[in-house]
């Protein structure tokens, strides 16, 4: 993993612990959690979106480690986001049990 990927993973771990984990319910019922995120600053090339992939994968891994069963993942994207309108915004809806 590169330096930026490690930073992205650390950031996602922190977000999970502080923001996502307190929302997780363990009652056997189906629930959702919405994650808001942004693309890389310069996202003009054809290739894997490593920032989003690293961060969402970290959230999903942590949820599964905390005994959540991931049932579905949906996302949408919004163009021209961020302070300089040069990023894509992502909403990721994770359905879990």
For 62-78, what is each residue's pLDDT tens digit?
999 999 999 999 999 87
Total-model pTM: 0.80
pLDDT at 31: 98
**With b meaning 16 or more CB within 10 Å and e meaning fewer, what string describes 34-53?**
ebebbbeeeeeeeeeeebbe
* 8 Å CB contact between 97 and 69: yes
Geometric angle at alpha carbon 15, from 14 and 20, rounded to 5°:
125
Residue 12: burial class (beta carbons within 10 Å; 0-12, 13-18, 19+): buried
pLDDT surpassing 80 at residue 94: yes
* 8 Å CB contact between 7 and 22: no
């Amino acid at each position: 993993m590169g330096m930026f990927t490690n930073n992205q993973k650390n950031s996602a771990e922190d977000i999970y612990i502080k923001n996502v984990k307190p929302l997780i319910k363990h009652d056997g019922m189906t629930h959702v959690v919405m994650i808001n995120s942004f693309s890389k600053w310069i996202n003009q090339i054809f290739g894997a979106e490593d920032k989003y992939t690293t961060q969402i994968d970290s959230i999903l891994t942590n949820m599964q480690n905390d005994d959540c069963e991931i049932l579905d993942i949906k996302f949408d994207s919004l163009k021209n986001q961020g302070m300089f309108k040069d990023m894509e915004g992502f909403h990721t809806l994770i359905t879990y049990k």
